[in-house]
Every structure is written in C-alpha cells, then in structure tokens.
C-alpha cells in the first residue's frame, strides 16, 4: 500500500507556511472533511489509482492501548471456588455471552495538546488509512455539515454524522461506492483492517451508468412517520427522530447526459461508547433522469434536514446554464377541516424519489471564436448564503451570485421573494447577478530594464491617459480564459439571520479568496456612506502556490486542528490544495498559546481604546496609551471615518 509522507517539504510564505507532501501515486480528487475527529484532528480524503486515502492531521495524540477487560462470565467462573452447582437450561443462554468475550482493546487520547517544536512549527500527521477499492477513484464527495464554530445549538444537525465518516466515490469501472468508517482515528497498534470498522457498498441496484461518471455529491435525508413530522414542525428543528438515509447523486455523459440519484437507508450499530451507522444495501432505491446535455458539476444544498431545500440538487451545464433539481417532488395536500390560514409547509407532503426541475439560472453573453453570440461558459457553481443563493464561476474569470430567494442584503423582489425554500417555484429563470466580480492575475512584466527607465515626457492627453490607467489598475490584469476552475464555500459564523461564508476561487493557475462574502455583498449594494476598503470586502489573489509545474486538482477549506493558539486567530481553517502528485496545505506558523496571548493583548487593548474614543468615553489613561502608540508608530488616532465615497470595483 502506498504511504502518505509524514515529513513535508516546508516553504515559508508571507502569511505562513506551505507544506508540500509528495506522493508516489497520482491524485485524481481530494476533499477536506468538514468535521473534526473527537481528538481535534482535521481529516483529508483523496482518491488515487486504486482506492481512497484517509488522513488525520493534528489533534491530541494517542494514549496507550488498553487491553480488553475479561467478560463477566469468565470472572464468575474463576472466582467460584465453592461447591455451588450452576444449571444451564439450554445453549441459548451462551449466545449473549459470546460477544463479551471478544471485546476489542480500548484507547483514549492525551488530555494535553502536543507541544510546538520551533524547528517544525506545523501540525503532524497523526494517522492514515488506505481503503482499497480495486479501481481508479475519479471523484469523491463528503457531506456539507457545518463545523463546530459555525454551528449553534439550535441549528439542525444530522446525528448520523456525529461519529461516522461518509464518503462517496465514483470509479473508472463505472461504479459508485459509498464508504463509512468511524470519525475517530484507529490506534496505530490496530494493524488489522477488520478492526477499523470500514464498510464499503457498491450502488448498482439495477440502475447504473453506461459511461464513466464525471462527478458525485452526497447529503442526508430522513424518513418520518406522520406523528413524528407533526412534532418536528411544532418544534421547528430536528432532534434525530425518524430513519436516516444517505442521498448520493452522480452524473455522466452517456447519451445526452444522465443523472442518477440513490437513496440508501441506514441502520444503527453500537460500538462501545459511540453509535455507528451502517448502510443497508438491500433497501437501496434509485432513480434515473435524462439531462438535456452532459453536466459539468453537481452539488446538494448545504441546508440540513428538516429544511425543505436539503434535497435540492444544483446541476451546472458547460453550455451556460445552471438548474436546480428537487430530488423529492411535493404536491399540495387537502387542507384539514376547520382550519384557515394554515402554514404553507403543512400544505405539502413529500413523495419519495420523484423529482422535478425548479428553476434555471443563466449567465451573460459573449462573442465566440466564430463571431456568433453565445452564453458564457460555466466552469463551476455552488450554493452560498446557506443554500439560499448560487455562485457561478465562468471561463473568462468572471464570478457572480444569483439570489434566488431574495435573501441577500439590499436585494429587491426576486422569483422566490418572501418564500422559505426553493420549492415554491417551478419552471422559472433568472439572469441578473446580485453581486459579481472578476478574478485578476498579477501583471507579467516583459519589458527590459532599458525600457523601464523613467523618461521626461510632456503631459499630453495621451500620456495622461497612460498614467491614469497605470495608477488605477496597479499591477493587476484580467486572467486569461480557462476551462479549469473550482469554487469552495465554508460558513464561518453562527448566525440566525444571514450566514457569513469564506469563498475560495480557482481559475486556471490563479486562485483568490473572499474572506467574507456577506461583507463584500453589503459593500456592493451600499448606496451612501463610507466605503469599507478592508480585505474582508474584496477578492484577494493568493500568493503564488508553487506546484512545480503540476496542474491543480482540488482546492478547499480544511478545518484547523483544535489548538488553543488557533482559537485566538480569526481564520479557523487552513487551505488544502491538491495537485497531480502532491498534497499542499497552506497554514499559519504554529506558536505556543502563551506567545499568542502575549501578542494579542496589546491589539485587543488598542481596539478597545479606539472604540471608547469614538463613543467619547476614553479616559486619560486610555488617551495616554493611544498617544504612546502614535509616537512608536504602532497606532493611530481615528475619531471617525471619512464620508468620501469611493469606486466600488471588486476584483
């Protein structure tokens, strides 16, 4: 089995470190698992030539492996030294005692986090597991669950994802596999793969692809009885009642295009202190949908059950169209007698596995190479704003957001205005962006040193225009067209109104980050007042990631391993980059918790002084601290902000 390297190639960056793990095999797809393991490790999943690889990075280290305690029957048999006669009626009484005699060794994790080695200031690789599938893995999918820091206690959360990892993979042998294993990493002393509790299920159930699948997406749904559904609606949130299922969608280019949706029931299985969920392969249900053209990408809505939009599937087409498909069709039920003005959700009931198209989204036009006008080419599309809006990335480097529910800041009435989910419209279309921008690349300098020398020239209209272009555009230029790209979305806050998200964009060889989509959106629609020029309100290009000539394969948000020093930082994630033969992680340099507390205390005091100064509540001691900071060049006296309006150009 190929092994994941433990010692990376480390390259310093302006914002931290670039950790490069060179691999002996080719990486075809990679994903960062959205949840951490119980010991605080972050999890990386990638597919290669013969199967899947699961990596646990960072977190608390393993404790010593504890031998299993002897069974109760063995203890009683050993301690009975008298002449007591034990009568056994039948062999059936021995059956419950058999599993207790085969208990597996237990283990725990260290109570203290590992110390930071100044020579190696990055998280170590704690554990790695190979899952052979016997075929090349072309794409992988993981559920879109919210991390702990972005989820409140009132948010619905599928209990099946608490202790179990779910991974869906499409392979070159035309098959679709679903793999489950415990979220906690296995102990290094456990060498036997049977002790890892890995389950592999092939989804064939008579409905399969006749061509190589191009993509896969995964989410959770639930089956409820009528009484459970009424109780859930009265509570307004899910508490784990009902029977959980896994929804897996795949697409291929066979015929005009094919979409398969599989629904796999789950059964509970106790494993020590945790409850694992196993796939019930015998009860698999599938549906097949013919597409108008081969799909480019698909993505399930990130909303969790019981939200009605949790089963909505985003299907992006290369030819310039994005459609929303509901895997479960709904029909209006007859209103109950004696009730008027009932809730709109109570007037719908779910019919399993009979889907329908809901809405189509279209980008702008461009002139093709033949001179004909056509829709712009779509590279990728994904859900944003907690599943209420859709972001698209185009081949020319443009990106835009369709606010399909009218939930964004400053949005006017849209096709789903004042509706709680995307089920409320069928057959509609939308073309206007709520907010948009373009990915830019650093300007390549091809002039010689002689041409760069400053020369005296009269200020004519022509030279003035050149100087203005240089001042306004700076050192950026539009990225060249590319058909390779990706969007990665990660929710970063806990909010009961609009969720804030960090966006990673990859277009060709260029990457950019939007630290706060909500801040950028609000800044774009702001008609008056001060323009916020902070980095949270703009698209910031990455510093060049050196991949040594290899192509990008994947880009994503990797939850930072649990560590006290990372808790004081605003960014709670690292950046995962997958190339053809390497995994790259962009992460800050680790420091001890005491160092981070010492460094952040003056910054917190300065920010508090600035806030009290704006409110007119700053005392003499605080004013002295501000003046001392100005004298040392580390502070400034900001009583207010300038009301001057500035150009709102997001690049």
Contact in structure between 183 and 35 (CB atoms under 8 Å): yes
Q: Which residue has the higher pLDDT, 92 or 114?
A: 114
pTM over 0.95: no
Percent of the residues in the chain that have a pLDDT greater than 90, as a whole number: 42
Share the mean pLDDT of the chain: 78
Cα(515)–Cα(505) distance, integer angstroms: 11
Bridge partners (DSSP) listed for residue 246: 220, 264
pLDDT at 442: 59
User: Are 129 and 53 spatial neighbours (Cβ–Cβ below 8 Å)?
Assistant: yes
What whole-number distance in Å separates Cα of residue 15 and Cα of residue 11? 11
In 3D, which of 146, 129, 148, 133 has the Cα closest to residue 53? Answer: 129
DSSP state of 387: G
| Residue 399, pLDDT score | 96
- Over residues 183-240, the pLDDT tens digits come to 999 998 888 888 899 999 999 877 889 999 999 999 999 876 555 455 545 444 444 4
- How far CA 188 is from CA of 51, 62, 65, 253, 379, in Å, comes to 21, 8, 9, 42, 41
Asked if residue 126 lies in contact with residue 185, where contact means CB atoms within 8 angstroms, the answer is yes
- What is the model's pLDDT at position 137? 97
- For 23-106, where are the E strands, in sequence order? 29-32, 42-47, 51-57
The pair of structure tokens assigned to 45 is: 């999943």
Superfamily of domain 9-60+112-443+476-591: YVTN repeat-like/Quinoprotein amine dehydrogenase (2.130.10.10)
Q: What is the pLDDT of residues 267-308, one digit of tens each?
A: 987 766 677 788 998 889 999 999 999 999 999 999 988 888
Per-residue pLDDT at 345 = 44
Beta-carbon contacts of 574 under 8 Å, excluding residues fewer than 6 positions away, are 42, 557, 558, 559, 560, 585, 586, 587, 588
Residue 409 near residue 521 (C-beta atoms within 8 A): yes
What is the number of alpha carbons within 13 Å of residue 649 lying toward its C-beta? 8
Place of tokens 């969007």: 487
Give the model confidence (pLDDT) of 560-605 as tens digits. Answer: 998 887 776 778 899 999 999 999 999 999 987 665 545 445 666 7
Q: Is the pLDDT of residue 615 over 80?
A: no
Sheet of 16-22, strands arranged across: 9-13, 16-22, 582-587, 573-579, 552-559
600 and 591 Cβ atoms separated by less than 8 Å: no
With CA atoms as reference, report the closest residue to 141 among 224, 68, 250, 36: 250
pLDDT of residue 458: 47
Strands 274-279 and 285-290 come out as unpaired
Question: pLDDT at position 462, please?
Answer: 44
Token pair of 649, please?
Answer: 């150009």
At residue 425 the predicted structure's pLDDT band, cuts being 50, 70 and 90, is: low
% of the chain surpassing 70 pLDDT = 70
Q: Distance between CA 375 and CA 380 in Å, rounded?
A: 15
Q: Which residue has the higher pLDDT, 3 or 262?
A: 262
* pLDDT tens digits for range 248-270: 999 999 989 999 999 999 998 77
**Can you say whether residue 458 is alpha, beta or left, with left for phi > 0 and alpha for psi between -120 and 50 degrees?**
beta
pLDDT value at residue 329: 66
DSSP 145: P
* 475: β partners: none
Alpha helices (H) in 208-292, listed in sequence order: 226-235
Report the pLDDT value the prediction gives residue 467, as an integer from 0 to 100: 46
Tell me, what's the pLDDT at 193? 87
Beta partners for residue 43, in sequence order: 56
Q: What is the pLDDT of residue 30?
A: 98
């Amino acid at each position: 089995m190929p092994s994941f390297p433990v010692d990376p190639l480390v390259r310093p960056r302006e914002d931290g470190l670039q950790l490069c793990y060179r691999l002996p095999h080719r990486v075809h797809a990679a994903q960062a698992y959205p949840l951490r393991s119980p010991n605080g490790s972050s999890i990386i999943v990638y597919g290669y030539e013969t199967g899947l690889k699961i990596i646990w990075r960072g977190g608390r280290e393993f404790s010593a492996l504890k031998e299993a305690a002897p069974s109760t029957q063995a203890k009683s048999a050993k301690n009975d030294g008298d002449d007591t006669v034990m009568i056994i009626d039948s062999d059936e009484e021995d059956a419950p005692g058999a599993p207790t005699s085969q208990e597996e060794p237990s283990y725990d994790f260290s109570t203290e986090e590992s110390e930071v080695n100044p020579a190696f200031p990055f998280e170590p690789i704690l554990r790695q597991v190979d899952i052979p599938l016997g075929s090349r893995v072309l794409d992988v999918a993981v559920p879109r669950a919210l991390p702990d820091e972005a989820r409140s206690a009132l948010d619905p959360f599928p209990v099946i994802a608490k202790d179990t990892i779910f991974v869906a993979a499409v392979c070159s042998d035309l098959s679709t596999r679903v793999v489950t294993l415990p979220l906690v990493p296995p102990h290094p002393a456990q060498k036997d793969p049977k002790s890892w509790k890995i389950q592999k299920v092939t989804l064939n159930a008579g409905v399969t692809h006749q061509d190589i699948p191009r993509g896969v997406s995964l989410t959770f749904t639930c089956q409820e009885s009528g009484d459970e559904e009424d109780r859930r609606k009265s509570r307004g949130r899910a508490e784990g009642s009902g029977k959980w299922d896994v929804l897996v969608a795949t697409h291929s280019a066979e015929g005009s295009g094919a979409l398969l949706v599989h629904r796999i029931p789950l059964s509970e299985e106790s494993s020590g202190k945790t409850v694992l969920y196993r796939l019930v392969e015998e009860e698999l249900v599938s549906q097949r949908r013919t597409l108008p053209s081969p799909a480019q990408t698909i993505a399930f809505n990130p909303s969790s059950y019981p939200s009605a939009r949790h089963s909505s599937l985003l299907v992006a087409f290369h030819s310039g169209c994005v459609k929303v498909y509901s895997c479960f069709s709904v029909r209006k039920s007859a209103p109950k007698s004696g009730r008027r003005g009932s809730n709109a959700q109570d007037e719908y009931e779910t019919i399993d596995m009979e889907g329908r198209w809901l809405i189509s989204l279209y980008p702008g036009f461009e002139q093709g190479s033949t001179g004909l006008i056509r829709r712009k080419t779509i590279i990728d599309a994904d859900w944003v704003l907690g599943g209420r809006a859709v972001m698209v990335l185009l081949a020319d480097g443009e990106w835009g957001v369709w606010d399909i529910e009218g939930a964004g800041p400053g949005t006017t009435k849209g096709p789903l205005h004042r509706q709680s989910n995307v089920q409320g419209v069928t057959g509609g279309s939308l073309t206007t962006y709520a907010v948009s921008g373009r990915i830019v690349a650093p300007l390549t300098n091809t002039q010689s040193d002689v041409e760069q020398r400053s020369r005296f020239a009269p200020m004519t209209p022509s030279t003035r225009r050149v100087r203005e272009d240089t001042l306004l555009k700076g050192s950026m230029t539009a990225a060249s067209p590319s058909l390779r790209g990706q969007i990665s979305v990660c929710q970063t806050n806990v909010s009961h109104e609009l969720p804030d998200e960090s966006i990673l964009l990859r277009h060709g060889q260029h990457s950019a980050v939007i630290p706060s989509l909500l801040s950028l959106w609000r800044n774009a629609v702001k008609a008056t007042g001060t323009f916020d020029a902070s980095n949270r309100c703009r698209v910031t290009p990455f510093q060049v990631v050196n991949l040594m000539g290899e192509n990008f394969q994947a880009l994503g948000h990797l939850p930072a391993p649990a560590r006290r020093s990372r808790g004081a930082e605003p960014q709670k994630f690292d950046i995962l980059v997958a190339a053809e033969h390497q995994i790259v992680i962009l992460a800050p340099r680790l420091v001890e918790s005491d160092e981070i507390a010492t460094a952040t205390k003056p910054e917190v005091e300065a920010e508090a002084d600035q806030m009290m100064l704006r409110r007119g509540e700053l005392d003499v001691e605080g004013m002295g601290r501000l003046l001392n900071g100005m004298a040392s060049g580390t502070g400034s006296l900001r009583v207010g902000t300038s009301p001057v309006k500035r150009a709102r150009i997001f690049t």
